[in-house]
Amino acid sequence: MSEDNAPFYITTAISYPNGRPHIGHAYEAIATDVMARFQRARGRDVRLVTGTDEHGLKMFQTARDQGRATIDLADEMSGYFREMYAKLNISYDVFTRTSDAAHHAASQALWKAMEANGDLYLDRYEGWYSVRDEAFYDESELTDGEGGVRLSPQGTPVEWTVEESWFFRLSNYQDRLLALYKEQPDFIRPESRRNEVLRFVEGGLKDLSVSRTSFDWGVPVPGSPGHVMYVWVDALTTYLSGLGYPDPDSDFGKFWPANIHMIGKDIVRFHTVYWPAFLMSANLPLPKQVFGHGFLLNRGEKMSKSLGNVVDPMVLADQFGVDALRYYLLREVSFGQDGSYSAEAIVRTANADLANSFGNLAQRSLSMIFKNLDGVLSNDWSPTDDDISLIADILDMARVRLPREFEQLAFSVGIEDWIRAVFACNQYVDTQAPWALRKTDPERMRAVLMTLFQAVRTLAIAIRPVVPAAADKLLDQMGIAEDTRDFAALADMGWFEKLVASGFAVGQPVPIFPRLELPEGEEEGEA
């Protein structure tokens, strides 16, 4: 089976739901969804797995402080993530909760596999632990904060922890991990993340504490009463349990290993050091790539509750529309790097690209066909070199250039090529002036409008993974069947002839991208 039609498995990070989802969660979910939709449009059988990582001390303490059962907090918070995914049109296949019984079974199966390999032993843990990060840190990684508080590399407070613990022999995997990074340089992307991990592993690995006894909110360690698994052991296992591991007849047998784990840059170490070591220990194939994307900054500032600049993605979706938000985040942020956003920047980009450029192109093209040709499509016209050149360029963008960039997760580069193709179509309209041809050369007007119809259809299919609802609304108006909106359809050179033969007629078009207004109270400025 070639790579082009092999099954494709992609995951988001498994979100920690001790609070409502923020724009960072939305950004990651949207990017992952666009990749999944893109691969489906390429003809691949895709699984997108996401979910919530509900165990660990942080969830336990939050629920305790609220005077409620931890599972009640988990139920509520996990529900908010489901709501966000529904709102943002995230086409996930599986939403896994680490509190699910099937996930417990998968985590225990992985534990037993690592134990059978001789990589787990019981000892006593003494060291620095960050409750907020659910992570252990070495003394050399810490800095001093105000009031003598010790801080992790993420700036979170750490506390000295002493308890009996199971340990994983991470130190045994240093050489194998370094060999992995060397032999598969794309295992960690972008390169800046790879370099950080390389330096960390080259500095030496210590065995990892992988169980806790100070609380019981977690997956029980098999055969070791009183111990629950370190939250990252069972959180990472979600990528397996979401496919039905350890059942070989489940999706796990077809889709593992993952093609891409899409995660934030702050959890790269867990996914590129601990996770591959666990999988090596369990004799399971490794994921092909871990991509650590950057942070979203609000007007250039990192979001925090203390600054009061944390934005609810549900509010943004209501204010600007889901597709406009999806488009902005992938168009304006170079994926892998930190990016900035603001209300005015979203409005500016959505109006310039979607409403004024593509939306206007589609609206006036279909309107002229409706008004001047009674909506009738025709094959009875002779294309000029200008027509042929435009269609060839649009098709090359949609079939070659944009897919090449999306395959590499270079979404902004692919979208830039798409908007250049939109600009070329608008330039073609202005140059050909079909409204003038209506009086002077109606046959030439017909040729121009048929060329535009074909171009708009190709543009809509190309950008559909990014703005699925709007693209489908447009393609519905163009009579394009739901099963002919993928990349295979772009290779069908007879599609237009078939549509004409079907007798389809263009009706009065409905705009797909309304112009946005800046919400009241927002000041005009730069993002």
Does a structural domain hold residue 338? no
**Euclidean distance between CA atoms 362 and 319, whole angstroms:** 24
Does a structural domain hold residue 135? yes
SS3 488: helix
233 and 357 in a single domain? The answer is: no
246-261 average pLDDT score: 96
353 and 273 in a single domain? The answer is: no
What's the mean per-residue pLDDT of the chain?
93
pLDDT tens digits, 55-74 = 988 898 899 999 999 999 99
425 and 498 in a single domain? The answer is: yes
433-437 average pLDDT score: 96
CATH code, domain carrying 374: 1.10.730.10
SS3 207: coil
Name the percent of the chain lying above pLDDT 70.
Answer: 96
pLDDT of residue 519: 77
363 and 288 in a single domain? The answer is: no
pTM of the prediction?
Answer: 0.92
pLDDT tens digits, 259-312 = 999 999 999 999 999 999 999 999 999 999 999 999 888 766 665 555 555 678
128 and 204 in a single domain? The answer is: yes
For 176-195, b where at least 16 C-beta lie within 10 A, e where not — what string? ebeebbeeeeebbbbeebbe
- Among 261, 293, 325, the domain boundary falls at 293
360 and 273 in a single domain? The answer is: no
Does a structural domain hold residue 384? yes
pLDDT at 200 over 70: yes
Does a structural domain hold residue 527? no
**Euclidean distance between CA atoms 485 and 458, whole angstroms:** 9
**Domain count of the fold of the chain:** 2
pLDDT-derived band at 140, boundaries 50, 70, 90: confident
pLDDT tens digits, 478-524 = 999 999 999 999 999 999 999 999 999 999 999 999 999 987 666 54
Does a structural domain hold residue 508? no
Does a structural domain hold residue 395? yes
21 and 165 in a single domain? The answer is: yes
pLDDT of residue 527: 37
pLDDT-derived band at 75, boundaries 50, 70, 90: very high
271 and 386 in a single domain? The answer is: no
268 and 365 in a single domain? The answer is: no
Does a structural domain hold residue 519? no
pLDDT-derived band at 526, boundaries 50, 70, 90: very low
CATH code, domain carrying 243: 3.40.50.620
pLDDT of residue 309: 59
Does a structural domain hold residue 520? no
pLDDT tens digits, 147-196 = 889 999 888 999 988 889 999 999 999 999 999 999 999 999 999 999 99
pLDDT of residue 341: 86
Pull the structure tokens for residue 325.
């938000």
pLDDT of residue 1: 45
Q: Which of 421, 423, 401 is nearest to 410 (CA)?
A: 401
42 and 133 in a single domain? The answer is: yes
Q: Which domain holds residue 207?
A: 3-293
394 and 472 in a single domain? The answer is: yes
495 and 431 in a single domain? The answer is: yes
454-475 average pLDDT score: 98
